[in-house]
A = this chain, B = another copy of it.
Amino acid sequence: MRTWPTGRIGFGGDYNPEQWPSAVWREDIELMRRAKVSFVSVGIFSWSALEPRQGDFEPGWLDEVMDLLGDAGISVDLATATAAPPMWLAAAHPEIAVVDVDGHRLSQGSRQNWCPSSTTFTAYATSLTRRMAQHYHDHPALAMWHVSNEYGCHNTPCYCEACAAGFRAWLQQRYGDLGALNGAWGTSFWSQRYHQWEHIAPPRRTPTFGNPGQLLDYRRYQSDALLAQYLAEREVLREVSPGVPVTTNFMTMTHFRHLDYFRWAPTQDVVSTDHYVVDALPDPRAELAFCADLTRGVAGGRPWMLMEHSTSAVNWQPVNRAKDPGQTIRDSLTHVGRGADVLGFFQWRASRAGAEKYHSGMVPHAGPDSALFDEVCRLGELTTRLGPLVGSSVDAQVAILWDYEAQWGLMGPALPSALVQYGDLAVRMHRALAARQVTCAVVHPLSDLSAYRLILVPTLYLVSDAAVANLTATADAGADVLVSYFSGIVDHSDHIRLGGYPGAFRDLLGVRTEEFRPLRDGEQVRLTGGLLDGRAGRIWSEVCAATTADVLVEYADGPLLGKAALTRREVSGSARWYLSTDLDDDALAALLAEVTDAAGVVPVVPGAPAGLDVVRRRGDQGSFLVAVNHSDEARELVATGHDLVTDTAVVGSLTVPGGGVAVVREG
């Protein structure tokens, strides 16, 4: 077939046939047909099955699987099979294993235990990649290459000697001379100055706080080192298997913080990602929707693949919650609404043994005679009806800035408050706007912001000069801007921008803060004035005064009495807001309602009721409303057109049942 499935939303998942006797494979194919599966990812952890001894390539079993899939019309996203090194490689080259911050070389018997900087690993991995590409390039079932798996999930940061050497080479490239490095790292502090390159090491365990510049650069280096591993495999695939798209599955979840996906995305033929819901979060679905928008931002606004999510419980949380009936469909449509053109699951059949045997699958332990498999089939059927959405883009008038480097800065040592965690405020802002049916893009500070009426800048701690210029130019061109506390504090090298906080945005916002006053967990400070009158700040406060801005809200008690909590500077039609404290959900929603209204941001559909998440995609085949009803009761959606879910006409409004979904082709 040689092409990715078209005319529908892709549907499938990871398939690990080597865990099952071949008799099961036939049942798998039959069930995949029943579930209308269009693709599977195969071979991700098959290195030891494909190359049981060094150089012995034994693909026979996989040939059989590929043929079965091809015959059934199921496309294969074929792995390079390099995600987890086999035991023989680990035994022959113990130096490829990851070393932790204390110097322990980690043991095999798990997965992904290979060092990001290991050229030995690269050599073995690209050799297998070459064999795979040579062997399967012409196979009709092959539709895409899946390089490795979830880079960095467990193997970064590594602190071994290969990483030390790689880090030094990377630093020499970046800084040229040691003087520049010493300046960037501020090594005059604590007698840390380097006079020889070879004295530089990874930020291993130290008696107390390490150097923040070294830590920040090490995060940059590790992300780049893993990217180089990806590129090494991709180059082989491009050479041996030209024309077949190549991807690796990202992990755009707020708790995964090791890779700068904005740097990775340009190397992907299509951006794919995995997303798993973390039940301990205050609102797990808010994080899901945020991450879907972030993935689209990483993908430059283009459609993307959801390579993995789960049909129900995962296995790695303290208490692994099952999904409620219908939840998998709602989660899937939330991703589709925000730009996913493919829905993949880990994994097709729940494992019988191993550390992931309690991870749900499309076929559960109970077998196909189960409510879960029924729901999988319903979702599969639904994806065949959503073809018109494929390739369309997502409407958004608001952008939230996101930067992995700012996150890394906020992971540094010895900051003012451990209660300020990167992403918390961003997700909460996103959630407040989604509740108003305002769709957000989540984008990099250097991206083109001209399409947005409002730019939100939550806790963007570290910001480069170029990003400051980009944001300023966007505001000067008429966009509104809302910046939160602890944004623009340090430059690209994690140096304080002096003269008063927030140094990067002082002029833009017309404020100047003399001192931070972080609050204790649970502590509040009263506010007075305007739309926040009677509400309270929390987590953070600061000695803030307006210079050229208007003060809209003041602190109402304590040492900050009369200082500025919320300011606005109007410049020729553009409003630049500054929020110097944190707010609870209600107050944040009130603020964002005012800020979006003032910016002329309009909801996706007017009067959309609470609990109904609505997003609009727009493409060659028209515009589409994707609606997910998170409530237990029916909700009215104002729309006219045709509901692809129920295949019925919609005139004026549509009732979305409690827990249900709708996709209305408008017009």
Instruction: State the A residues within 8 Å of B (CB).
Output: 16, 18-19, 45-49, 52-53, 81, 83-88, 90-91, 98, 100, 102-113, 153-155, 185-196, 198-199, 201, 203-214, 279, 312-313, 315-316, 318-322, 324-325, 350-360, 364-367, 370-372, 413-419, 493-496, 498-501, 512-521, 543, 559
User: 5 new A-B pairs (CB below 8 Å) besides A19-B186, A315-B415, A365-B501?
Assistant: A18-B188, A81-B191, A110-B211, A318-B417, A319-B521
Instruction: Tell me how far the C-beta of A425 lies from the nearest C-beta in chain B, rounded to whole angstroms.
Output: 17
Q: Is the Cβ of A104 less than 8 Å from the Cβ of B107?
A: no
Q: Which single residue of chain B is at the shortest CB-CB distance from A84?
A: B191
Measured between alpha carbons, how far is A189 from B414 in the docked complex, in Å? 41
Residues of B within 8 A of A111 (CB): 190-192, 207-208
**Which of A47, A312, A318, A519: most chain B CB closer than 10 A?**
A318
Measured between alpha carbons, how far is A516 from B365 in the docked complex, in Å? 11
Q: Is the Cβ of A109 less than 8 Å from the Cβ of B417?
A: no
Residues of B within 8 A of A201 (CB): 107-109
Other-chain contact of A191, B47, B316, B372, B559 (Cβ < 8 Å): B47
Residues of B within 8 A of A359 (CB): 414
Q: Is the Cβ of A414 less than 8 Å from the Cβ of B315?
A: yes
Q: Which single residue of chain B is at the shortest CB-CB distance from A155?
A: B207
Q: Is the Cβ of B356 less than 8 Å from the Cβ of A189?
A: yes
**Which of A49, A322, A496: most chain B CB closer than 10 A?**
A322
Other-chain contact of A517, B322, B358, B367, B417 (Cβ < 8 Å): B322
Main secondary structure of the interface of A (DSSP, over half): loop
**Which of A110, A211, A419, A494: most chain B CB closer than 10 A?**
A110
Residues of B within 8 A of A90 (CB): 199
Instruction: Tell me how far the C-beta of A177 lies from the nearest C-beta in chain B, rounded to whole angstroms.
Output: 15
Other-chain contact of A414, B86, B207, B358, B494 (Cβ < 8 Å): B358
Stoichiometry, copies per complex? 3
A201-B107, A367-B499, A367-B500 are known contacts. Are A416 and B313 too (CB-CB below 8 A)? yes
Residues of B within 8 A of A351 (CB): 186, 189, 496
**Which of A187, A355, A518: most chain B CB closer than 10 A?**
A355
Q: Which single residue of chain B is at the shortest CB-CB distance from A46?
A: B191
A48-B192, A108-B201 are known contacts. Are A319 and B186 too (CB-CB below 8 A)? no
Q: List 13 A-B contacts (CB under 8 A).
A: A47-B191, A48-B187, A53-B195, A108-B201, A109-B203, A155-B207, A190-B355, A212-B357, A312-B515, A316-B414, A322-B559, A353-B496, A366-B500
Q: Is the Cβ of B45 less than 8 Å from the Cβ of A190?
A: yes
Residues of B within 8 A of A88 (CB): 195-196, 199
Measured between alpha carbons, how far is A212 from B198 in the docked complex, in Å? 42
Instruction: Tell me how far the C-beta of A134 lies from the nearest C-beta in chain B, rounded to whole angstroms.
Output: 20
Measured between alpha carbons, how far is A419 from B196 in the docked complex, in Å? 50
Residues of B within 8 A of A515 (CB): 312-313, 322, 360, 364, 366, 370-372
Measured between alpha carbons, how far is A157 from B47 in the docked complex, in Å? 30
Q: Is the Cβ of B354 less than 8 Å from the Cβ of A189?
A: yes
A190-B355, A193-B52, A513-B366 are known contacts. Are A418 and B207 too (CB-CB below 8 A)? no
Measured between alpha carbons, how far is A47 from B187 in the docked complex, in Å? 12
Q: Is the Cβ of B514 less than 8 Å from the Cβ of A370?
A: yes
Measured between alpha carbons, how far is A155 from B208 in the docked complex, in Å? 9
Q: Is the Cβ of A212 less than 8 Å from the Cβ of B353?
A: yes
Measured between alpha carbons, how far is A196 from B371 in the docked complex, in Å? 43
Q: Which single residue of chain B is at the shortest CB-CB distance from A494?
A: B353
Q: Is the Cβ of A516 less than 8 Å from the Cβ of B313?
A: yes
Instruction: Tell me how far the C-beta of A539 lies from the nearest C-beta in chain B, rounded to whole angstroms.
Output: 9
**Which of A18, A45, A207: most chain B CB closer than 10 A?**
A207
A355-B189, A417-B320, A519-B319 are known contacts. Are A109 and B211 too (CB-CB below 8 A)? yes
Measured between alpha carbons, how far is A104 from B99 in the docked complex, in Å? 13
Q: Is the Cβ of B211 less than 8 Å from the Cβ of A355?
A: yes
Residues of B within 8 A of A414 (CB): 315-316, 355-359
Q: Is the Cβ of B191 less than 8 Å from the Cβ of A49?
A: yes
Q: Which single residue of chain B is at the shortest CB-CB distance from A209?
A: B355
A188-B49, A199-B91, A356-B189 are known contacts. Are A113 and B207 too (CB-CB below 8 A)? yes
Q: Is the Cβ of A353 less than 8 Å from the Cβ of B559?
A: no
Instruction: Tell me how far the C-beta of A594 lies from the nearest C-beta in chain B, rounded to whole angstroms.
Output: 29
Residues of B within 8 A of A517 (CB): 321-322
Instruction: Tell me how far the C-beta of A127 lies from the nearest C-beta in chain B, rounded to whole angstroms.
Output: 15
Measured between alpha carbons, how far is A102 from B279 in the docked complex, in Å? 31
